[in-house]
Amino acid sequence: MAHPTAWLELIVDGTHSHPALVKWVAEAYPERIVFVTDAMAAAGAEDGDYILGTLAVEVRGGVAKIAGTDTIAGSTLTLSKAVFNAVRYGVDPLVAVRAATIQPARYLGLDAGDLIVGGRADAVGLDENWAVTRVLRKGEWVSSPTGL
């Protein structure tokens, strides 16, 4: 964290990163925090049994573990849920949204993340619980089988 150009990745699922750590990092380094998911195929899905490569994975209470062990097997986190969790932990909503959008784009060196004239016009609509309600891709609203 001491290096001024280091990006600080956090998995904001309550399992990988403690809520107090998320809040502290967001307050201390708001311009360098990046939310990541470490998501597996069960991301956003119900509890159940899944396969990760050749490994059996059990998801219980939203936490993915190698079947029959206490070893975490990635996460089931979505970025909208990471924003929801961060805000619930006391992170400023603007800092949380930037950590899930523009800052990861900058971290990866992508020309994305800003809504500007001539840009891609990619965005999501969120409800009061920070859940995705609509998706804008290249300036067009996307319809999906899930009702977004």
**In the chain, where the domains are located:** 42-73
Give the 3-state secondary structure of residue 124. strand
CA 51, 77, 104, 18 torsion-angle sign: negative
Amino acid residing at 108: L
Cβ(113)–Cβ(104) below 8 Å: yes
pLDDT (tens digit per residue) in 125-141: 889 988 889 988 888 88
- Cα gap 6→11, rounded to integer Å: 16
Query: What is the end-to-end Cα distance of the chain in Å, rounded?
Result: 38
pTM of the model: 0.85
Pairing of strands 55-60, 63-66: antiparallel
CB atoms within 10 A of CB 35: 28
User: Percent of the chain beyond pLDDT 70?
Assistant: 95
Q: Annotated active-site positions, please?
A: 38
Compute the mean pLDDT over every residue in the chain, rounded to the nearest whole number: 89
Amino acid residing at 100: A
pLDDT (tens digit per residue) in 7-57: 999 999 999 999 999 999 999 999 999 999 988 888 888 999 999 889 999
